[in-house]
Amino acid sequence: MRTLVYNELTHHFWDLVEERKLNSYFFKDSPYSEVECLIVKTATKVNSSLLDNFPNLKLIICAATGYDNIDLKAAKQRGIVVCHTPEANSFSAAEHTVSLIYALLKHHQLGQYNIDNDKWRKGLPLNWEMSELKALIIGVGRIGTKVADTIKLLGGEVRGVDPYLTEQDWATKQVEQTDYSQGLEWCNLISYHTPLTAETKDYFSTATLTKLKRPVWLVNTARGGVVNELALKEGLDSGLVLAAGLDVFDNEPILNDNLKRHPKVLVTPHTGAYTDPARRRTAAEILKVWESYVYRNIIINEV
């Protein structure tokens, strides 16, 4: 299966291709009419216009957990299978989420500001401990489950929102199920771990603010559009949001100045999966999807 690697991948991928003697199948450049498999990253918008260039395309592999960059309806209409690599980034993204939670609870950003301005602890609010959390996990998949387990291990309470889990899934994950409205009334931290879809766009909105019974910490390492940035700014300014840790944004890499420079916002440049082990796992998972499809006619990780 002639495969075009549309976006640049790390040397880990090409090392594996070389090791498995698959060089004759993978190309960085190829006549589009000959391409049967396309490997992309989330920076590439795979829409109808792009797909029209690939008349023989059978398989798209997105080298990421998220896949909102791909027009799934357009792909399905053309009979193209779309898969992703959900396992590869789960450890690093979960760790990144927990690191943001810790940084918020311990007021790292305010502490740095005080040090820089020779204020020591003057005016600093007391730090929180993880055991004080009532954490609402939105999307209890691979990443959300790992975040939930960490919070529970350190004494915090956790409830989850995920309409796609069965009763058996909830029992296995040992996370208490709730719905969004009830969860918002209960929690003091919200952490988002969902793909960006029509259902999850603006999941956090001005309507969300009206349901909160107490101020909350907010963390988003999923997709920027899941949290409406204007609503978040309103929540921060009103005190309903104590502080926010954000790794994803609406218009990356251009950030909203109202958030980027807000004293209650800690931002990172979409580095939730920015580790060497994650890159190695991504390379391996891409080839696992590809080999399963090509050699065994089995589709795995389809979205």
Among the options 12, 107, 159, 223, which is catalytic? 223
Cα separation, 299 vs 79, in Å, equals 13
Give the Cα-Cα-Cα angle 96, 97, 99 (nearest 5 degrees): 65
**234 catalytic per annotation:** no
Cα separation, 9 vs 247, in Å, equals 21
What is the CB neighbour count within 10 angstroms for residue 230?
Answer: 14
Cα separation, 197 vs 34, in Å, equals 31
Among the options 34, 129, 185, 252, which is catalytic? 252
Task: Name the token pair of 102.
Answer: 């810790």
Cα separation, 89 vs 81, in Å, equals 21
Q: Where are the beta strands (DSSP E) in the chain?
A: 3-5, 26-27, 37-40, 59-62, 81-84, 134-138, 157-161, 176-177, 189-192, 216-220, 241-246, 265-267
**270 catalytic per annotation:** yes
Among the options 84, 107, 270, 281, which is catalytic? 270
**252 catalytic per annotation:** yes
Q: For residue 218, what are the β-bridge partners?
A: 190, 244
Q: For residue 216, what are the β-bridge partners?
A: 241
Query: What positions carry a catalytic annotation?
Result: 223, 252, 270
